[in-house]
Every structure is written in C-alpha cells, then in structure tokens.
Amino acid sequence: MSATVILDTNALMAPVERDLRLFEELERLVGPSVRPLVPAPVADELRRLAAGGGRAATAAGVGRSLLERCEVVPTDAAYADDAVVELARAHGGYVVTEDRALRARLPSQAVHVIGIRGSDRLEVRD
C-alpha cells in the first residue's frame, strides 16, 4: 500500500533552499511506496516563480523538474494553499509544508504534517 504525500510549493523548493533530498527523506519517513501528489495550483505557482530571478527562481525551477516524479492533480481551488487543503481532505495521508498558516488549516484527523528539521531532514510534526 502506498502512502499519499501532498507537496506544497515550499516542499518542492526545499532541495535548493534547504539542501534537502526530498524523495529520499519521504521514503525514510513513510516507506518506499510514496505516492506524491501536487495540486495543480502549486505547479502553476512554481512556474510563475521560476520565471523570476535569483535563488527563488532557481529553487522553483528545480521544483518544477521534481514534478516529473509526482502526480499533478487538478483542484477546484485556484490558490495553492486552498488546493493543498482540498487534497488533504480528499486523500488524507501526509502534507509536506513549512507554511504555519497552512498547517493550522489542515484537518488534524485526516493528515499528518511533515516539516523540515534542521537543514536537511524531514520529520512528522503532529
């Protein structure tokens, strides 16, 4: 059985911003059968950020390349955080995010929140 993991924008940018080996860390935490889901608005946000300049654009560009390893899921919500909450309610599992406001909105019974510990490790935070 696979573990559903919903990825927020900052999770997909973490490999550059935090030197995080995202998929290796997810496998360490939840097992080898990770099913990474990305809401379509998160993919759109990465595209917009990648079109900019500087380190954030580089991180977003890497995040876009990581989408190849994920299932991008259409949502009714147009805003990335709303879309993450929508998928969390629909699929449960885990959400990877460093966004405090988003974590506060996640349905506590349906999902486990994963965040970054230190600079390059993930941990379940609930």
Please state the φ and ψ torsions of residue 26, each to the nearest 5 degrees: -65, -40
Question: 86, 77 in Cβ contact below 8 A?
Answer: yes
Q: What is the pLDDT of residue 125?
A: 87
For residue range 35-79, what is the model confidence (pLDDT) as tens digits? 999 999 999 999 999 999 999 999 999 999 999 999 999 999 999
Q: How far apart are CA 48 and CA 109, in angstroms?
A: 33
Phi-psi region of 87 (alpha: psi -120 to 50; beta: other; left: phi over 0): alpha
Q: What is the pLDDT of residue 28?
A: 96
Q: Cα–chain-centroid distance for residue 105?
A: 15
Q: How confident is the model at residue 108 (pLDDT cuts 50, 70, 90)?
A: confident
Q: What is the pTM of this model?
A: 0.95
Fold of 3-124: Rossmann fold (3.40.50)
Sorted by where each begins, the domain ranges of the chain are 3-124
